[in-house]
Every structure is written in C-alpha cells, then in structure tokens.
C-alpha cells in the first residue's frame, strides 16, 4: 500500500525544503500544500495539526507527525520507514 503523505509548506521555508528533501530521498510521493499568504489554509492546517502552527506540518496516513525536526527524529530512530510502509 502506498502511504498517504501530506505536507503543509511555505515555498521558501528552509525547514520545509529540508523535510521535503528527506521524503524525496526516500522515494516517497507526497501532496504539498503551499500555503504562502493563505490565512484560511493556515487556519485549516492549524486545526488539523491540533494547534500546530509552525511549518512544515506533516501527516502520514492522516496521522499528524509534526514538523521537520520530528520527521528527522523518526528517521534517526528507525521509525519513519515503518510509518511509510503502512
């Protein structure tokens, strides 16, 4: 089964670029929501992320992962691949 990966970003955000680079290195297809300047989209993201308002915000199979630091921590702990395999 292909994982459903979604990431909310700003196009020039270095943390967003870094998180997307990790996903690309792993060969993961993802849906990007570039929400630059879109207050309504940011509000939807914040609601979905249980109050998380920093970028990026990442979801795998509708599970909120967090941001750049969290996805890299999962990778370092060997826990990202199992999430992507579900």
CATH of segment(s) 5-85: 3.40.30.10
Predicted confidence (pLDDT) per residue in 3-40, tens digit: 999 999 999 999 999 999 999 999 999 999 999 999 99
- Tell if the pTM clears 0.75, that is, is over it: yes
Buried/exposed 16-25: b ≥16 CB within 10 Å, e otherwise: beebbebbee
3 state SS of 2:
coil
25 forms bridges with which residues in the sheet?
none
**Per-domain residue ranges for the chain?**
5-85
At 2 the pLDDT is 86
């Amino acid at each position: 089964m292909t994982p459903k990966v979604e990431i909310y970003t700003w196009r020039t955000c270095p943390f967003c670029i870094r998180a997307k680079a990790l996903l690309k290195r792993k060969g993961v297809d993802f849906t990007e929501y570039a929400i630059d300047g879109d207050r309504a989209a940011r509000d939807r993201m914040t609601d979905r992320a249980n109050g998380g308002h920093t970028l990026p915000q990442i979801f795998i199979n509708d599970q909120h992962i967090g941001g750049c630091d969290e996805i890299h921590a999962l990778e370092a702990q060997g826990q990202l691949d199992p999430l992507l395999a579900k």
